[in-house]
Homo-oligomer: A and B are copies of this chain.
């Protein structure tokens, strides 16, 4: 019972935060104009932000700020900008990956065409920086600029990770080492899902205090530690997300089930499968995966999934995710030991969020 109540409180916290981010974003984005073509742009910019999602990255940022004794209010703009980051980059990712669905609806480029969707992504990207500039008055000019630098780093990492994955796709490269996969996932996913949200929360906790703390060596050390724990948890998150794409119930999932197999996405499961197949089976699987998306048949996708089950690829990936997750959680405990005593409720919510990220069953 206690666990059930705790879970309800946690879900309520996520919902409340998500509402705050949505309000910030939808109040900030332009809504109406007299020029009908531009009106469509505004509708496109508001489309993904209006589609739901759980706001986990923004919540992680807010919780880290509070955990280090910062004020939640000071973190909301930055957390909303994190959510905006995800929205604009998903618009472009969906084009680049050939994804058809996003959060239960057709991807933006499926609704409006690739050309307009690229442009709307750029416009939304610009709005992310513009929103961050409004921090200036609320949290001070120094922390505001540090935050802009964090976003800049996050964008570098994310585009590098995306480049790795896209290159594997476009050059039909299947011979991928686990090490390369882990580097790709760290860049493409861990940075914007775990590392940067934590770092932002830490920085935002400074806005109320003497900003010289940011020059403090203990603070610099903590900022470094977010990279270590966030890398491990971010990898675990992505592996779990990829497993869900193979195993989840479509009605709850929002994206296309087996979509990753249709897209030929390189996942931990696929790397394991290709490693464990004999030469004959491997050629057959690669023959299927290398076909253009529209020539792939559901039966073929299901046969690859079946092979993954048979060869233990999903269990193997789950095991790696679990190890990375445990290691990451230990590093997290280590980083926040002092704060966990000072702020036990926030601590338990942050821990709950990180556990949720790396062990979702929907």
- A160-B123 in contact (CB<8A): yes
Partner of A92, one of B122, B151, B183: B122
Q: How far is the CA of A169 from the CA of B119 in the complex (A)?
A: 14
Asked if A130 CB lies within 8 Å of chain B CBs, one says: yes
* CB within 8 Å of B: which A220-242 residues: none
Q: How far is the CA of A159 from the CA of B113 in the complex (A)?
A: 16
Partner of A148, one of B35, B97, B129: B129
Give the contact stretch, choosing among A37-45, A246-254, A312-320. Answer: A37-45
Residue of chain B at shortest CB distance from A160: B38
Asked if A96 CB lies within 8 Å of chain B CBs, one says: yes
- A164-B118 in contact (CB<8A): no
Asked if A141 CB lies within 8 Å of chain B CBs, one says: yes
- B122-A159 in contact (CB<8A): yes
- A145-B125 in contact (CB<8A): no
Q: How far is the CA of A136 from the CA of B156 in the complex (A)?
A: 20
Residue of chain B at shortest CB distance from A184: B37
For A151, list chain B residues within 8 Å (CB): 129
For A96, list chain B residues within 8 Å (CB): 115, 118-119
Indicate with 1 or 0, residue by residue over A106-136, a CB within 8 angstroms of chain B CB atoms: 0000000111101111110111011001001
Residue of chain B at shortest CB distance from A45: B159
- B123-A155 in contact (CB<8A): yes
Asked if A167 CB lies within 8 Å of chain B CBs, one says: yes
- A41-B152 in contact (CB<8A): no
Asked if A335 CB lies within 8 Å of chain B CBs, one says: no
Asked if A149 CB lies within 8 Å of chain B CBs, one says: yes
| CB within 8 Å for A119 and B37 given contacts A152-B129, A155-B126 | no
Copies per assembly: 2
Nearest Cβ distance between residue A193 and chain B, in whole angstroms?
18
- B122-A125 in contact (CB<8A): yes
Q: How far is the CA of A41 from the CA of B92 in the complex (A)?
A: 16
| CB within 8 Å for A126 and B163 given contacts A118-B92, A170-B113, A170-B116 | no
- B130-A163 in contact (CB<8A): no
- B92-A119 in contact (CB<8A): yes
Partner of A40, one of B95, B116, B167: B167
- A122-B164 in contact (CB<8A): no
Asked if A166 CB lies within 8 Å of chain B CBs, one says: yes
* CB within 8 Å of B: which A29-60 residues: 35, 37-38, 40-41
For A129, list chain B residues within 8 Å (CB): 129, 148, 151-152
| CB within 8 Å for A133 and B155 given contacts A37-B163, A40-B167 | no
| CB within 8 Å for A126 and B156 given contacts A145-B136, A183-B35 | yes
- B148-A38 in contact (CB<8A): no
For A183, list chain B residues within 8 Å (CB): 35
